Amino acid sequence: MTVIFSKKCEYGLQAVLYLSTLDSGEMASALEISKILNIPKEFVSKILQNLTFHGIVASKKGNSGGFFLKKDASEIKLIDIVKAIDGLSLFDKCVLGFPNCSPDHPCPVHNKWGRLREEAYKMLSAETLEQFRKKTIAKIKNIYRKPRKKKINNKIEEAVTDKTQKGLLKK
């Protein structure tokens, strides 16, 4: 369930976190990312194109092409991805959608939401993708342990096994 971010932003965060687990110079295709994260390929492609436009991701065309981080993972924070996809207005707007919500004219949840909003912004701004690398790898591996439809499970297992055998998904 999406609480704060659009589904597009959630998928973008997941895709970029996945790209951050790759070694320098390594690329992942939209198909690979979609299989591993169980996101529709067309959605992945559009999101990554948008992130390419914003300078977070880069791509190389061709059979051996794919997507990769344009900058080092230590230079990218989650807030950069949120800003590129959803913008930062969610940190300024009333969570209930009331116009003119302010400290002088608060909505019923204004004070509580304000604290949560500030904490969320701080959390997204505090750490880099590099700092999330080990947790991201653990999460990606954990995704495949959940029961899924056989067809999906096989695709994911193939992708993970291939990456693990190549030493691309490290512990």
Choose among 70, 3, 35, 67: nearest CA to 160: 35
Which residues does 63 contact at the CB level (< 8 Å), separation at least 6? none
| Per-residue pLDDT, 25 | 81
User: What is 7-88+128-165's CATH number?
Assistant: 1.10.10.10
> 129: buried, middle or exposed (CB in 10 Å: 19+, 13-18, 0-12)?
buried
| Per-residue pLDDT, 170 | 47
76's tokens = 């990218």
Tell me the average confidence (pLDDT) per consecutive run of 10 residues in the chain, 171 residues long.
79 95 89 91 94 96 90 95 93 87 91 89 94 87 58 54 58 43
pTM here is 0.78
Choose among 36, 25, 13: nearest CA to 72: 25
The partner residues of 132 in beta bridges, in order of sequence, read none
Which residues does 20 contact at the CB level (< 8 Å), separation at least 6? 69, 73, 76, 129, 130, 132, 133, 136
